[in-house]
Amino acid sequence: MATDPVIISGAGPSGLILGLTLAKNGIPVRIVDKEPGPRAGEKGAGITPRSLELHRLLGTLSDIMNLAKGIPTMRVYDPADPTKVLKTQIFIPTLEPTPQTPYINPAVLGQPYQERIFVSHLERLGVRVEYGSELRSFEQSEDAVTGEIVRRIEGQEVVEKFKAPWLVGADGSHSLVRKTLGLNFLGETREDFQIVIADVKLKALKLEAISVQFWELWGDRTTKTAHLRPSGQDDGIAQLMIAGPQVDLAKVSSSPENVIASFYEITGRHDIVIEDVVWLSRYRPNIRMVNQLRVGRVFVAGDAAHCHSPTGGQVNLAWKLSLVYKGFAPATLLDTYAEERLPIIAEMLGKTTELLNKVAKDGNIKRGSEFNQLGVNYRGSSIVYEDDVEVNTSKGAGYNDDSVNAARPGDRAPDAPGLVDVSDKSKAICIYDLYAPNAHTVLVFSATAEGHSPLFEVLKALPEGTVKTALILPNGAEAPVDSSAAEHQFDYILVDQDGYAYTNYHVDHSSVAVIRPDGVVGARVLGAPGLKQYFNRIFAHGQ
């Protein structure tokens, strides 16, 4: 087993989530970033329902939701009267949560706030993000990655030599790691669709001026427009976007003063006082992706791999890398990172490009349900398994509505509330409470606690601590006389009191579902032979 830390270059959300997942797996990790601290800018503020599920898995959800706001409604003002609202427009309709999807609605929280949450969780695990430290160069051999990290101390550069078992480049669209590996970054930069984006600090406002419930829009998209979206946090920050064919974007983006002047020219709303421009950028959509995610001992992730960021790639890589790092699985398991993620990335680039074209053509900002990312699936992956049935790929891996609640191998695992522990019936839990980013969870659906020894013979052969087990009894089933889960070798014995587990996992007979550490259904099997087949694909990949 390796002992040197995994190096992650880049402390944006991708690098921090990857580092947090590795740390929760007990893997030593160093996260370096050339920036002096968390980035400024409200970019990346949208959090999809699938991302919220992953936050639940990682233990960051409550902190995220304490700060996050709902998707605002757009409020469009009359060009002739900038205080008169002409209409409101809903981005995404608010939906009622269901037992399968308790986090069905997206949330909004700017990237700096998200990053601070991830950093605080890393610090609790003893990981300090090394801001002001830059990966300068690296090379790799069959056994290790070596290179240089440069720190700036009192204006002087201090060079540190490092040796690591693995390196991950989460260092953004201008990635040093990607360029050093010589990976192709295929796609295009859209010069025909540009906007100026700024974070501005607003003077305290009366509620009627603007509200965190709304995304404000002034102007005419055929000439000039200004968008303003308050962050909803206590710091008075709002995101300002300026666009339009008659806007001199180069001039506007050249100084904070020009940004402020352009806002007042377009809106006429001098009652909204901008005190400062905190961050400023001229944005051009980059629609790009790499053709591979791994070269030897080096990976790319996040914006270093693709410029529109599909959810889940960091956790997908982290649980596999953790098993390989510990010597529990062969390095060939890491090939499935690209196998599973590249089709997702390619399809998301297509969908975001389609949305961009709609916005450019007619200003249509409405999004389809696929952007919830609950339909992201790995059906057809070489490491998912189903007894005697070819895993359904008729609707394809990637995004499809069928996989949102189907709970087939490769799909997201749905939630199921109303599970009662037979040894403590005073408290009900949900099935998401069982899942963790550092272990597979084996769900045994059966009306009895007896007769499961063959399953445990398979599980005993696996590395210690890599699997948890839960017996799910149907409502009305007779609980074992000895209700101790340990006596029956299970970690949990639960009664499906409300019937959601059997319903949401489509169980009509005794069977087993295996949930991966990234919250994806890895296998649906009838018994021990199928269970062994699945875990052979993980712990003896390719053998």
CA separation for the pair 57, 55 (Å, rounded): 5
Task: Write down the CATH number for the domain with range 6-69+106-184+289-360.
Answer: 3.50.50.60
Ranges of CATH 3.40.30.10 domains, the chain = 383-537
Round to whole Å and give the CA distance between 338 and 350.
Answer: 18
Contact partners, residue 442, CB within 8 Å, separation at least 6:
455, 459, 467, 468, 469, 470, 512, 513, 514, 515, 531
312 neighbors 320 (Cβ within 8 angstroms): no
The strands making up 294-295's β-sheet, listed across from edge to edge, are 130-131, 29-33, 6-9, 167-169, 298-300, 294-295
DSSP string, 276-318: EEEEEEEE--EEEEES-SEETTEEE-GGGTBSS--TTHHHHHH
Euclidean distance between CA atoms 299 and 181, whole angstroms: 9
Structure tokens at 338: 């690209």
Bridging pattern class, strands 440-445 and 419-421? unpaired
**Amino acid letter for position 254:** S
298's CB contacts (< 8 A; 6+ apart) are 138, 140, 145, 166, 167, 168, 169, 177, 181
Per-residue pLDDT, 395: 47
Q: For residue 359, what are its two tokens?
A: 């916005």
Domain 195-283 belongs to what architecture?
2-Layer Sandwich (3.30)
**Residues near 455 by Cβ (< 8 Å), separated by ≥ 6?**
442, 444, 469, 512, 527, 528, 531
Q: Which residues contact 396 (CB under 8 A, 6 or more apart)?
A: 379, 380
- Tokens 């009192």 found at: 154
Strands in 207-258 per DSSP E: 214-220, 224-230, 237-243
Whether 288 and 188 have beta carbons less than 8 Å apart is answered as yes
Nearest to 477 by CA among 510, 506, 454, 525: 510
CATH assignment of 383-537?
Answer: 3.40.30.10
Please tell me the distance from the alpha carbon of residue 513 to that of residue 543, in angstroms, as a whole number.
23
Note the Cα 524 to chain centre separation in Å.
25
- β-sheet with 424-429: strand ranges across: 385-386, 521-525, 511-515, 440-445, 467-474, 492-496, 419-421, 424-429
Tokens representing 59 are 């233990």
Give ranges for CATH 3.30.70.2450 in the chain.
Answer: 195-283
What phi-psi label fits residue 172: left (phi over 0), alpha (psi between -120 and 50 degrees) or beta?
left
Give pLDDT tens digits along the chain (543 positions).
Answer: 567 899 999 999 999 999 999 999 999 999 999 998 887 767 778 898 999 999 999 999 999 999 999 888 899 999 999 999 999 988 788 899 999 999 999 999 988 899 999 999 999 999 999 999 999 999 999 999 999 999 988 778 999 999 999 999 999 888 999 999 999 877 666 666 788 999 999 886 554 567 777 899 999 888 999 999 888 776 788 899 999 889 999 999 999 999 999 999 999 999 899 999 998 988 776 667 778 889 999 999 988 777 654 445 789 999 999 999 999 999 999 999 999 988 887 777 655 555 555 555 555 555 555 556 788 899 989 999 998 565 444 445 566 777 888 999 999 999 999 999 988 888 899 999 999 999 999 999 999 988 899 999 999 999 999 999 999 999 988 766 565 555 578 999 999 999 999 999 999 888 999 999 999 999 999 999 999 999 999 998 655
Q: Which residue has the tokens 């859209």?
A: 190
Q: What angle do CA 69, 75, 81 make, to 5 degrees?
A: 145
Nearest to 168 by CA among 31, 260, 292, 342: 31
**Gyration radius (Cα) of the chain, Å:** 25
* Phi, psi values for residue 428, rounded to 5°: -95, 145
- Looking at residue 529, its pLDDT comes to 96
Count CA atoms within 13 Å of residue 22 on its CB side.
29
- Residue 302 pLDDT: 84
Write down the pLDDT at residue 308: 56
Q: Which residues contact 149 (CB under 8 A, 6 or more apart)?
A: 32, 130, 133, 134, 135, 136, 159, 160, 162
By DSSP bridging, strand 237-243 and strand 224-230 are antiparallel
Residues 357-372 as b or e (16 or more Cβ within 10 Å = b): eeeeeeeeeebebbbb
Instruction: State the Cα–Cα distance between residues 101 and 97, nearest whole angstrom.
Output: 6
Q: Are 278 and 199 in contact (CB under 8 A)?
A: yes
Residues forming CATH 3.50.50.60 domain(s) in the chain: 6-69+106-184+289-360
User: For 307, what's the count of Cα atoms within 13 Å in the CB-facing half-sphere?
Assistant: 18
